[in-house]
A = this chain, B = another copy of it.
Amino acid sequence: MTDPADLSASEAATALRAGTLTAERLASACLDRIDARDDTIRAWAFLDRDLILRNARVLDAAPVRGPLHGLPVGVKDVMQTFDMPTQYNSPLYQGHFPGVDAACVSLLRSAGALILGKTDTVEFAATGHRAATRNPRDLARTPGGSSSGSAAAVADHHVPLALGTQTAGSMTRPASFCGVWSMKPTWGMINREGSKIYSNTLDTIGWFAGSAADLALVYDVYDQEPGSAPPLAIRGLRVALCRTPVWDKASDATRAALAAAGEALSAAGAIVTDLTLPTAFDSLPEQQVLIMRAEGRNALLPEARAFPGRLEPRLQEMVDNVDGYTRTELLAAYDHAAACRPRFDAIATGFDAVLAPSAVGEAPLGREDTGDWVFNGMWTLLHGPNINIPAATGPNGAPIGLTVVGGRYRDRAILAAAAAIGEVIDSR
Protein backbone atom coordinates (compact mmCIF):
# COMPACT_ATOMS: atom_id res chain seq x y z
CA MET A 1 0.00 0.00 0.00
CA THR A 2 1.09 3.54 -0.72
CA ASP A 3 2.82 5.38 2.10
CA PRO A 4 0.21 8.00 3.10
CA ALA A 5 2.94 10.67 2.89
CA ASP A 6 3.09 10.02 -0.85
CA LEU A 7 -0.62 10.66 -1.42
CA SER A 8 -1.58 13.88 -3.14
CA ALA A 9 -3.80 16.24 -1.18
CA SER A 10 -6.81 15.20 -3.24
CA GLU A 11 -6.09 11.49 -2.80
CA ALA A 12 -5.59 11.92 0.94
CA ALA A 13 -8.80 13.95 1.22
CA THR A 14 -10.71 11.17 -0.54
CA ALA A 15 -9.20 8.51 1.71
CA LEU A 16 -9.94 10.57 4.83
CA ARG A 17 -13.53 11.05 3.74
CA ALA A 18 -13.88 7.35 2.95
CA GLY A 19 -12.51 6.43 6.36
CA THR A 20 -9.64 4.40 4.89
CA LEU A 21 -7.16 6.88 6.34
CA THR A 22 -7.15 8.81 9.59
CA ALA A 23 -5.68 12.23 10.22
CA GLU A 24 -3.45 10.65 12.85
CA ARG A 25 -2.07 8.02 10.48
CA LEU A 26 -1.48 10.60 7.76
CA ALA A 27 0.22 12.96 10.19
CA SER A 28 2.38 10.09 11.50
CA ALA A 29 3.42 9.23 7.96
CA CYS A 30 4.35 12.87 7.31
CA LEU A 31 6.31 12.98 10.55
CA ASP A 32 8.14 9.77 9.67
CA ARG A 33 9.02 11.22 6.28
CA ILE A 34 10.26 14.39 7.92
CA ASP A 35 12.30 12.34 10.40
CA ALA A 36 13.89 10.52 7.51
CA ARG A 37 14.50 13.52 5.30
CA ASP A 38 14.60 16.80 7.14
CA ASP A 39 18.12 16.51 8.49
CA THR A 40 19.01 16.84 4.83
CA ILE A 41 16.28 19.18 3.55
CA ARG A 42 15.79 21.42 6.61
CA ALA A 43 12.40 22.67 5.47
CA TRP A 44 10.97 23.06 8.96
CA ALA A 45 11.50 25.85 11.44
CA PHE A 46 9.17 24.37 14.06
CA LEU A 47 7.51 20.99 14.53
CA ASP A 48 5.95 19.59 17.70
CA ARG A 49 5.21 15.90 17.24
CA ASP A 50 3.00 15.61 20.31
CA LEU A 51 0.95 18.67 19.44
CA ILE A 52 0.47 17.44 15.88
CA LEU A 53 -0.70 13.99 16.89
CA ARG A 54 -2.96 15.41 19.58
CA ASN A 55 -4.56 17.79 17.07
CA ALA A 56 -4.87 14.96 14.54
CA ARG A 57 -6.73 12.82 17.07
CA VAL A 58 -9.06 15.72 17.82
CA LEU A 59 -9.85 15.98 14.11
CA ASP A 60 -10.41 12.23 13.84
CA ALA A 61 -12.90 12.41 16.70
CA ALA A 62 -14.68 15.53 15.45
CA PRO A 63 -17.41 15.94 12.84
CA VAL A 64 -16.02 16.93 9.43
CA ARG A 65 -15.29 20.64 9.50
CA GLY A 66 -14.68 21.17 5.82
CA PRO A 67 -12.95 20.01 2.65
CA LEU A 68 -9.48 19.95 4.21
CA HIS A 69 -10.51 17.85 7.22
CA GLY A 70 -7.42 16.02 8.46
CA LEU A 71 -5.09 17.26 5.72
CA PRO A 72 -1.68 18.39 7.00
CA VAL A 73 -0.54 21.81 5.86
CA GLY A 74 2.83 23.48 6.37
CA VAL A 75 2.71 27.17 7.29
CA LYS A 76 5.40 29.64 6.32
CA ASP A 77 6.92 31.00 9.50
CA VAL A 78 5.84 34.58 8.83
CA MET A 79 2.21 33.66 9.59
CA GLN A 80 1.04 33.67 13.18
CA THR A 81 -0.15 30.42 14.76
CA PHE A 82 -1.79 30.41 18.16
CA ASP A 83 -0.26 27.13 19.27
CA MET A 84 3.21 27.40 17.74
CA PRO A 85 5.95 30.04 17.77
CA THR A 86 6.25 32.48 14.86
CA GLN A 87 9.89 33.40 14.40
CA TYR A 88 10.26 34.95 10.91
CA ASN A 89 13.75 33.37 10.69
CA SER A 90 14.86 36.41 12.66
CA PRO A 91 17.10 36.35 15.73
CA LEU A 92 14.90 39.17 17.05
CA TYR A 93 11.89 36.86 17.26
CA GLN A 94 13.32 33.62 18.66
CA GLY A 95 10.69 32.00 20.85
CA HIS A 96 8.13 34.62 19.79
CA PHE A 97 4.66 33.33 20.58
CA PRO A 98 1.91 35.73 19.48
CA GLY A 99 -0.86 33.39 20.65
CA VAL A 100 -3.17 34.12 17.75
CA ASP A 101 -3.74 32.64 14.29
CA ALA A 102 -3.19 34.59 11.11
CA ALA A 103 -6.40 34.87 9.09
CA CYS A 104 -5.04 32.51 6.42
CA VAL A 105 -4.29 29.90 9.10
CA SER A 106 -7.60 30.35 10.89
CA LEU A 107 -9.47 29.79 7.62
CA LEU A 108 -7.56 26.55 7.06
CA ARG A 109 -8.37 25.33 10.56
CA SER A 110 -12.05 26.16 10.03
CA ALA A 111 -11.90 23.95 6.92
CA GLY A 112 -10.48 21.11 9.02
CA ALA A 113 -6.81 21.36 8.08
CA LEU A 114 -4.15 20.08 10.46
CA ILE A 115 -1.45 22.73 10.84
CA LEU A 116 1.63 20.53 10.78
CA GLY A 117 4.30 23.06 11.59
CA LYS A 118 6.17 26.18 10.53
CA THR A 119 8.37 26.18 7.45
CA ASP A 120 11.63 28.03 7.12
CA THR A 121 11.69 31.34 5.27
CA VAL A 122 13.99 34.12 4.22
CA GLU A 123 13.94 36.54 7.15
CA PHE A 124 10.56 38.34 7.37
CA ALA A 125 9.80 37.00 3.84
CA ALA A 126 11.93 39.94 2.73
CA THR A 127 15.71 39.75 2.73
CA GLY A 128 18.31 39.15 5.43
CA HIS A 129 18.95 35.65 6.77
CA ARG A 130 18.30 32.90 4.26
CA ALA A 131 16.37 29.77 5.13
CA ALA A 132 18.49 26.75 6.02
CA THR A 133 16.48 24.76 3.46
CA ARG A 134 18.06 22.75 0.63
CA ASN A 135 16.50 22.05 -2.74
CA PRO A 136 15.17 18.46 -2.66
CA ARG A 137 15.74 18.12 -6.41
CA ASP A 138 19.41 19.03 -6.12
CA LEU A 139 20.86 19.49 -2.65
CA ALA A 140 23.62 21.75 -3.93
CA ARG A 141 21.05 24.33 -5.07
CA THR A 142 18.81 26.88 -3.38
CA PRO A 143 15.12 25.99 -3.10
CA GLY A 144 14.48 29.65 -3.91
CA GLY A 145 12.93 32.08 -1.50
CA SER A 146 11.41 33.47 0.46
CA SER A 147 8.92 30.58 0.83
CA SER A 148 11.87 28.16 0.83
CA GLY A 149 10.68 25.63 3.40
CA SER A 150 7.11 25.43 2.12
CA ALA A 151 8.22 24.74 -1.47
CA ALA A 152 10.79 22.16 -0.40
CA ALA A 153 8.45 20.43 2.07
CA VAL A 154 5.86 19.87 -0.64
CA ALA A 155 8.45 18.92 -3.26
CA ASP A 156 9.99 16.38 -0.89
CA HIS A 157 6.59 14.95 0.13
CA HIS A 158 6.80 15.94 3.76
CA VAL A 159 3.34 17.39 3.48
CA PRO A 160 0.86 17.62 0.60
CA LEU A 161 0.14 21.35 1.02
CA ALA A 162 1.97 24.38 2.38
CA LEU A 163 1.25 28.10 2.59
CA GLY A 164 3.63 30.77 1.32
CA THR A 165 3.59 34.44 0.52
CA GLN A 166 4.63 36.40 -2.56
CA THR A 167 5.74 40.02 -2.67
CA ALA A 168 8.09 39.67 -5.66
CA GLY A 169 8.52 36.01 -6.62
CA SER A 170 8.47 34.21 -3.28
CA MET A 171 6.00 31.53 -4.39
CA THR A 172 6.49 31.13 -8.14
CA ARG A 173 10.29 31.07 -8.06
CA PRO A 174 10.72 28.42 -5.32
CA ALA A 175 7.98 26.36 -6.99
CA SER A 176 9.90 26.56 -10.26
CA PHE A 177 13.21 25.66 -8.57
CA CYS A 178 11.76 22.76 -6.56
CA GLY A 179 9.52 21.41 -9.30
CA VAL A 180 6.12 21.80 -7.64
CA TRP A 181 2.89 23.61 -8.39
CA SER A 182 2.09 26.90 -6.68
CA MET A 183 -0.72 29.38 -6.75
CA LYS A 184 -0.65 33.06 -5.94
CA PRO A 185 -4.30 34.17 -6.16
CA THR A 186 -5.54 37.65 -6.96
CA TRP A 187 -4.24 40.32 -4.59
CA GLY A 188 -6.74 41.00 -1.83
CA MET A 189 -8.66 37.74 -2.11
CA ILE A 190 -7.11 36.35 1.07
CA ASN A 191 -7.04 38.39 4.25
CA ARG A 192 -3.42 39.12 5.26
CA GLU A 193 -4.14 39.72 8.95
CA GLY A 194 -1.41 38.16 11.06
CA SER A 195 0.96 37.48 8.17
CA LYS A 196 4.04 39.71 8.34
CA ILE A 197 3.61 42.79 6.19
CA TYR A 198 6.35 43.54 3.70
CA SER A 199 4.47 45.56 1.09
CA ASN A 200 0.76 46.42 1.22
CA THR A 201 0.64 46.83 -2.53
CA LEU A 202 2.24 43.48 -3.30
CA ASP A 203 1.99 40.93 -0.47
CA THR A 204 -0.21 38.01 -1.44
CA ILE A 205 -0.79 34.73 0.35
CA GLY A 206 -0.57 31.57 -1.72
CA TRP A 207 0.20 27.85 -1.48
CA PHE A 208 2.18 24.96 -2.90
CA ALA A 209 0.75 21.61 -3.94
CA GLY A 210 1.36 18.70 -6.26
CA SER A 211 -1.18 19.43 -8.99
CA ALA A 212 -3.81 21.83 -10.25
CA ALA A 213 -6.49 19.75 -8.53
CA ASP A 214 -4.68 20.07 -5.21
CA LEU A 215 -4.28 23.82 -5.68
CA ALA A 216 -8.02 24.06 -6.34
CA LEU A 217 -8.81 22.22 -3.11
CA VAL A 218 -7.24 25.06 -1.12
CA TYR A 219 -8.54 27.76 -3.44
CA ASP A 220 -12.12 26.71 -2.76
CA VAL A 221 -11.59 27.23 0.96
CA TYR A 222 -10.27 30.76 0.54
CA ASP A 223 -12.57 32.11 -2.14
CA GLN A 224 -15.70 33.27 -0.36
CA GLU A 225 -17.45 34.09 -3.63
CA PRO A 226 -19.44 31.03 -4.69
CA GLY A 227 -18.58 29.86 -8.18
CA SER A 228 -17.04 27.20 -10.29
CA ALA A 229 -15.21 26.92 -13.58
CA PRO A 230 -15.93 23.98 -15.85
CA PRO A 231 -12.93 21.86 -16.83
CA LEU A 232 -11.30 23.06 -20.04
CA ALA A 233 -10.21 20.91 -22.95
CA ILE A 234 -6.75 21.48 -24.35
CA ARG A 235 -8.18 21.37 -27.87
CA GLY A 236 -9.06 24.92 -28.80
CA LEU A 237 -7.57 26.38 -25.59
CA ARG A 238 -6.27 29.85 -26.41
CA VAL A 239 -2.79 30.12 -24.89
CA ALA A 240 -0.63 33.23 -25.29
CA LEU A 241 3.11 32.78 -24.85
CA CYS A 242 4.41 35.93 -23.20
CA ARG A 243 8.16 36.41 -23.24
CA THR A 244 7.71 39.49 -20.99
CA PRO A 245 9.79 42.69 -21.17
CA VAL A 246 12.70 40.90 -19.44
CA TRP A 247 13.12 38.06 -21.92
CA ASP A 248 16.80 38.95 -22.32
CA LYS A 249 17.32 37.65 -18.77
CA ALA A 250 16.04 34.18 -19.65
CA SER A 251 18.56 31.35 -19.83
CA ASP A 252 18.61 29.05 -22.82
CA ALA A 253 16.89 26.44 -20.70
CA THR A 254 14.00 28.75 -19.86
CA ARG A 255 13.72 29.83 -23.50
CA ALA A 256 13.66 26.20 -24.55
CA ALA A 257 11.05 25.35 -21.90
CA LEU A 258 8.65 28.03 -23.14
CA ALA A 259 9.21 27.07 -26.77
CA ALA A 260 8.74 23.38 -26.03
CA ALA A 261 5.58 24.08 -24.08
CA GLY A 262 4.22 26.08 -27.01
CA GLU A 263 4.95 23.25 -29.41
CA ALA A 264 3.49 20.58 -27.15
CA LEU A 265 0.35 22.62 -26.55
CA SER A 266 -0.05 23.26 -30.28
CA ALA A 267 0.42 19.59 -31.00
CA ALA A 268 -2.26 18.82 -28.44
CA GLY A 269 -4.70 21.13 -30.21
CA ALA A 270 -4.31 24.39 -28.29
CA ILE A 271 -4.35 27.66 -30.21
CA VAL A 272 -0.96 29.07 -29.29
CA THR A 273 -0.04 32.64 -30.11
CA ASP A 274 2.67 35.05 -29.05
CA LEU A 275 1.79 37.98 -26.85
CA THR A 276 3.93 41.08 -26.79
CA LEU A 277 2.86 43.47 -24.06
CA PRO A 278 2.54 47.21 -24.72
CA THR A 279 5.78 49.11 -24.09
CA ALA A 280 4.13 50.80 -21.09
CA PHE A 281 4.67 47.48 -19.31
CA ASP A 282 8.44 47.62 -19.76
CA SER A 283 8.95 49.56 -16.54
CA LEU A 284 6.85 47.24 -14.35
CA PRO A 285 9.67 44.91 -13.24
CA GLU A 286 11.67 47.88 -12.01
CA GLN A 287 8.63 49.49 -10.42
CA GLN A 288 7.82 46.32 -8.52
CA VAL A 289 11.26 46.49 -6.91
CA LEU A 290 10.85 50.15 -6.11
CA ILE A 291 7.41 49.67 -4.50
CA MET A 292 8.55 46.61 -2.56
CA ARG A 293 11.62 48.26 -1.11
CA ALA A 294 10.02 51.65 -0.52
CA GLU A 295 7.14 50.00 1.35
CA GLY A 296 9.52 47.53 2.99
CA ARG A 297 11.36 50.44 4.65
CA ASN A 298 8.25 51.12 6.57
CA ALA A 299 7.47 47.47 7.29
CA LEU A 300 10.67 46.98 9.27
CA LEU A 301 10.88 50.39 10.92
CA PRO A 302 9.37 49.14 14.22
CA GLU A 303 12.10 46.47 14.51
CA ALA A 304 14.82 48.96 13.51
CA ARG A 305 13.67 51.31 16.28
CA ALA A 306 12.93 48.70 18.95
CA PHE A 307 16.23 46.84 18.43
CA PRO A 308 18.71 49.52 17.37
CA GLY A 309 21.75 48.14 15.61
CA ARG A 310 20.43 44.59 15.70
CA LEU A 311 18.54 44.34 12.42
CA GLU A 312 20.27 42.19 9.78
CA PRO A 313 22.39 44.59 7.69
CA ARG A 314 20.46 44.08 4.44
CA LEU A 315 17.20 44.79 6.25
CA GLN A 316 18.66 47.83 7.96
CA GLU A 317 19.83 49.12 4.57
CA MET A 318 16.31 48.85 3.28
CA VAL A 319 15.00 50.80 6.29
CA ASP A 320 17.73 53.37 5.67
CA ASN A 321 16.66 53.64 2.01
CA VAL A 322 20.12 52.96 0.59
CA ASP A 323 18.32 52.83 -2.74
CA GLY A 324 17.55 56.53 -2.40
CA TYR A 325 13.99 56.10 -3.64
CA THR A 326 11.84 59.21 -3.36
CA ARG A 327 8.16 59.41 -2.56
CA THR A 328 7.60 61.05 -5.92
CA GLU A 329 9.03 57.94 -7.56
CA LEU A 330 6.91 55.73 -5.33
CA LEU A 331 3.70 57.54 -6.26
CA ALA A 332 4.60 57.45 -9.95
CA ALA A 333 5.14 53.69 -9.67
CA TYR A 334 1.80 53.23 -7.86
CA ASP A 335 -0.04 55.20 -10.49
CA HIS A 336 1.63 53.59 -13.46
CA ALA A 337 1.04 50.07 -12.14
CA ALA A 338 -2.58 50.95 -11.34
CA ALA A 339 -3.08 52.12 -14.91
CA CYS A 340 -1.52 48.92 -16.30
CA ARG A 341 -3.77 46.57 -14.28
CA PRO A 342 -7.00 47.09 -16.23
CA ARG A 343 -5.00 47.14 -19.47
CA PHE A 344 -3.57 43.71 -18.70
CA ASP A 345 -6.98 42.41 -17.62
CA ALA A 346 -8.36 43.50 -20.99
CA ILE A 347 -5.46 41.92 -22.89
CA ALA A 348 -5.85 38.68 -20.92
CA THR A 349 -9.54 38.33 -21.83
CA GLY A 350 -8.39 37.51 -25.35
CA PHE A 351 -6.97 34.18 -24.13
CA ASP A 352 -7.78 31.31 -21.82
CA ALA A 353 -4.32 31.66 -20.31
CA VAL A 354 -1.09 33.57 -20.66
CA LEU A 355 2.03 31.42 -20.25
CA ALA A 356 5.33 33.01 -19.20
CA PRO A 357 8.66 32.00 -17.66
CA SER A 358 8.73 31.35 -13.90
CA ALA A 359 12.44 31.94 -13.45
CA VAL A 360 15.63 32.81 -15.26
CA GLY A 361 16.58 29.14 -15.31
CA GLU A 362 17.57 26.39 -12.91
CA ALA A 363 18.02 27.23 -9.22
CA PRO A 364 21.39 28.84 -8.46
CA LEU A 365 23.99 26.83 -6.60
CA GLY A 366 24.39 27.41 -2.87
CA ARG A 367 22.06 28.92 -0.29
CA GLU A 368 22.90 32.59 -0.35
CA ASP A 369 21.59 33.48 -3.80
CA THR A 370 17.90 32.53 -3.80
CA GLY A 371 17.57 33.46 -7.46
CA ASP A 372 16.25 36.36 -9.46
CA TRP A 373 12.52 37.20 -9.28
CA VAL A 374 12.64 39.31 -12.41
CA PHE A 375 10.07 37.11 -14.18
CA ASN A 376 7.65 37.27 -11.24
CA GLY A 377 7.59 40.81 -9.90
CA MET A 378 5.63 42.28 -12.77
CA TRP A 379 2.82 39.76 -12.39
CA THR A 380 2.70 40.26 -8.63
CA LEU A 381 2.35 43.98 -9.24
CA LEU A 382 -0.46 43.39 -11.76
CA HIS A 383 -2.40 41.58 -8.98
CA GLY A 384 -3.82 38.72 -11.04
CA PRO A 385 -3.50 34.98 -10.34
CA ASN A 386 -0.20 33.18 -11.06
CA ILE A 387 0.20 29.41 -11.14
CA ASN A 388 3.54 27.68 -11.50
CA ILE A 389 3.63 24.44 -13.49
CA PRO A 390 6.78 22.30 -13.33
CA ALA A 391 7.44 22.15 -17.06
CA ALA A 392 10.99 21.08 -17.86
CA THR A 393 14.40 20.26 -16.53
CA GLY A 394 17.49 22.28 -17.26
CA PRO A 395 20.95 21.19 -18.41
CA ASN A 396 21.82 20.09 -14.87
CA GLY A 397 18.62 18.16 -14.35
CA ALA A 398 17.10 20.80 -12.06
CA PRO A 399 13.47 21.86 -12.58
CA ILE A 400 12.24 24.76 -14.68
CA GLY A 401 8.71 26.06 -14.30
CA LEU A 402 6.32 28.12 -16.36
CA THR A 403 3.73 30.53 -15.01
CA VAL A 404 0.09 30.61 -16.01
CA VAL A 405 -1.08 34.19 -15.59
CA GLY A 406 -4.57 35.67 -15.66
CA GLY A 407 -6.40 38.91 -15.17
CA ARG A 408 -7.60 39.92 -11.71
CA TYR A 409 -10.19 37.62 -10.13
CA ARG A 410 -9.97 35.18 -13.04
CA ASP A 411 -8.58 32.66 -10.55
CA ARG A 412 -11.05 29.85 -11.15
CA ALA A 413 -10.72 30.12 -14.91
CA ILE A 414 -6.95 30.18 -14.64
CA LEU A 415 -6.95 27.11 -12.40
CA ALA A 416 -9.00 25.29 -15.03
CA ALA A 417 -6.67 26.44 -17.81
CA ALA A 418 -3.60 25.45 -15.78
CA ALA A 419 -5.05 21.99 -15.21
CA ALA A 420 -5.51 21.51 -18.96
CA ILE A 421 -2.05 22.90 -19.75
CA GLY A 422 -0.49 20.79 -16.99
CA GLU A 423 -1.88 17.63 -18.61
CA VAL A 424 0.40 18.41 -21.55
CA ILE A 425 3.47 20.04 -20.04
CA ASP A 426 3.81 18.87 -16.41
CA SER A 427 7.27 17.34 -16.50
CA ARG A 428 6.91 15.02 -13.52
CB–CB B106/A306 < 8 A = yes
Binary B-proximity of A298-330 (CB < 8 A = 1, otherwise 0): 110110011000000000000100000001000
How big is chain A's contact interface, by range?
Answer: 35 or more
Residue in A97, A200, A297 with the greatest tally of chain B CB atoms within 10 Å = A200
Which of the candidate stretches A11-19, A24-32, A187-195, A238-246 sits at the interface with the other chain? A187-195
Which of the candidate stretches A33-41, A138-146, A164-172, A331-339 sits at the interface with the other chain? A331-339
- The CA-CA distance from A224 to B298 in the complex, in Å, is 8
Check A372 for interface membership: any CB of B closer than 8 A.
Answer: no
CB–CB B305/A106 < 8 A = yes
Q: In the assembled complex, which residues on chain B have CB atoms less than 8 Å from the CB atom of A319?
A: 224
CB–CB B335/A107 < 8 A = no
CB–CB B302/A193 < 8 A = yes
CB–CB B297/A224 < 8 A = yes
Check A42 for interface membership: any CB of B closer than 8 A.
Answer: no
Check A196 for interface membership: any CB of B closer than 8 A.
Answer: yes
- The CA-CA distance from A394 to B196 in the complex, in Å, is 45
Q: In the assembled complex, which residues on chain B have CB atoms less than 8 Å from the CB atom of A96?
A: 100
Binary B-proximity of A408-427 (CB < 8 A = 1, otherwise 0): 11000000000000000000
CB–CB B342/A107 < 8 A = no
Binary B-proximity of A348-391 (CB < 8 A = 1, otherwise 0): 00000000000000000000000000000000000000000000
CB–CB B188/A200 < 8 A = yes
- The CA-CA distance from A207 to B191 in the complex, in Å, is 25
Q: Which of B100, B109, B200, B301 contacts A107 (CB 8 A)?
A: B301
Binary B-proximity of A100-118 (CB < 8 A = 1, otherwise 0): 1101001101110000000
Check A50 for interface membership: any CB of B closer than 8 A.
Answer: no
With both beta carbons as reference points, the residue of chain B lying nearest to A411 in the complex is identified as B327
Q: In the assembled complex, which residues on chain B have CB atoms less than 8 Å from the CB atom of A60?
A: none
Q: In the assembled complex, which residues on chain B have CB atoms less than 8 Å from the CB atom of A190?
A: 298
CB–CB A409/B224 < 8 A = no
- The CA-CA distance from A301 to B66 in the complex, in Å, is 15
- The CA-CA distance from A305 to B107 in the complex, in Å, is 7
Q: In the assembled complex, which residues on chain B have CB atoms less than 8 Å from the CB atom of A106?
A: 302, 305-306
- The CA-CA distance from A326 to B100 in the complex, in Å, is 31
Q: In the assembled complex, which residues on chain B have CB atoms less than 8 Å from the CB atom of A23?
A: none
Q: Which of B100, B107, B295, B331 contacts A98 (CB 8 A)?
A: B100
Check A91 for interface membership: any CB of B closer than 8 A.
Answer: no
Check A345 for interface membership: any CB of B closer than 8 A.
Answer: yes
Q: In the assembled complex, which residues on chain B have CB atoms less than 8 Å from the CB atom of A392?
A: none
Check A225 for interface membership: any CB of B closer than 8 A.
Answer: yes
Q: Which of B98, B193, B200 contacts A196 (CB 8 A)?
A: B193
Check A197 for interface membership: any CB of B closer than 8 A.
Answer: yes
Check A341 for interface membership: any CB of B closer than 8 A.
Answer: yes
Beyond contacts A101-B302, A327-B408: 10 other A-B pairs, Cβ-Cβ < 8 A, are: A103-B302, A106-B305, A106-B306, A191-B298, A191-B299, A191-B302, A224-B297, A224-B319, A225-B327, A335-B342
15 contacts between A and B (CB under 8 A): A96-B100, A101-B302, A106-B302, A107-B301, A110-B302, A189-B298, A190-B298, A193-B302, A224-B298, A327-B408, A327-B409, A331-B341, A335-B338, A338-B338, A339-B339
